[in-house]
Amino acid sequence: METPGGSEFTLTSTYLNTASCGVLPRRAVAAITSLVDELAAGRPGGAGDYAVLGPARASFARLSGVAEDRVAVGSSLAVQVALVAAALPAGAEVLFPEGEYTSVVTPFAVRGDLALRYAPLEALADAVRPGTALVAFSAVQSADGRIADFAAVREAAAVQGARTLVDLSQSAGWLPLDAGSFDYTVTCGYKFLLGLRGVCFLTVTEEAQQTLRPLYAGTFASVDWPLYGPVEHLAPTARRFDESPAYAAYHGAVESLALLEEVGVAAVHRHVTGLARRCTQGLASLGLPAAATDSAIVAVPGQGERLADLARAGVVASARAGNLRLSFHLYNTPSHVDRALDALA
């Protein structure tokens, strides 16, 4: 199996842990290093360049299937979710899958005046009911790699007049998506988008933009860049929801996103799901059945303690909710899968 974009990486381990943190491509490392060197030398360029935000925003928009003017940039997924949580009226019902990722749930929970309800992921669409204001869920579950039934949830929400918030952090970069079909999406950039912490993207439909208050508005959310006093002219697009960026992270992100565009999400999807199938079949032969998903993430229930066996063999993976979790990206090869299987055998 050919590894797309493999020459961009310098792995020194069998790295099967992108669901925790992606590997930086060479070009991203070079961009970040250049910025840091500028700062270490006391040159003005070390402060970072606002101009990288435009290409990063545009690249993410293309990768996620939305118009650029629907994308806001930020540094924290929980902060972006909090914008949506703050827009709900008191008493509104928010529906989540059971076991949903903490950063998706907590901004709603800490308000204390919302009605939170949970349902099994497989029954999420059926659980949408009259009075549900918002359905919030991850496209791909962090703990086990299960993929939500987007179409069913979207249709059920539309029937009941509910909005949708989708966390794309474990899917953007490998799973073909149409983020514009949801009211809001949030995506951290340090997993399958191959960036650093400090990169996050919020997408908002034009209609849903009217529901959010730009609570974190500052210079970056303005039209005319005022340095003192309040912002009087907010950007007319989703840019009015921008946070002050973590420049080093975005200098790297623009390069990583460009690489993903060059390879193509469809090619990454074919590659990672092929590796996942190889892994799932190998696990079954070892008597370690994994969840049957067409996902970049393979989880083996109840085997989280086997993480130590993999570590001794130089295989980097993770354990979540008692599961042994292996995750694949464009820098992985069939030999990486086989090395992990050998360690588990």
CATH number of 6-23+265-344: 3.90.1150.10
Q: Is the pLDDT of residue 153 over 80?
A: yes
**What pLDDT sits at residue 1?**
47
Query: Looking at 63-67, 183-187, 293-297, which range is the least confident one?
Result: 293-297
Q: Please list the residue range(s) of the chain that carry CATH number 3.90.1150.10.
A: 6-23+265-344
**Residue 262 pLDDT level (bands cut at 50, 70, 90):** very high
Residues in the chain: 345
Looking at the chain, the domain(s) classified CATH 3.40.640.10 span 30-262
* Amino acid occupying residue 278: R
pLDDT range class, residue 44, cuts 50, 70, 90: confident
What's the pLDDT tens digit per position in 72-116?
999 999 999 999 999 999 999 999 999 999 999 999 999 999 999
Average pLDDT over residues 273-299: 93
3-state secondary structure of 102: helix
Neighbours of 177 (CB within 10 A): 22
The C-alpha atoms of residue 283 and residue 289 are separated, in whole angstroms, by: 6
pLDDT digits (tens, 9 = 90+) for 178-191: 999 999 999 999 99
| One-letter identity of residue 236 | P
CB of 111 closer than 8 Å to CB of 242: no
Identify the CA nearest to 185 among candidates 66, 59, 52, 57.
66
CA atoms within 13 A on the CB side of 140: 24
The CA–CA distances, whole Å, from 40 to 75, 248, 253, 287 equal: 23, 13, 21, 53
Q: What is the CATH number of domain 30-262?
A: 3.40.640.10
Q: What is the pLDDT of residue 6?
A: 76
pTM for the predicted model, two decimal places:
0.96
Mean pLDDT of all residues belonging to the chain: 95
pLDDT of residue 2: 61
| Number of Cβ within a 10 Å radius of residue 262 | 11
> What does the pLDDT read at residue 5?
75
DSSP state of 23: P
Span 224-230, average pLDDT: 91
- Which one has a higher pLDDT value, 18 or 2? 18
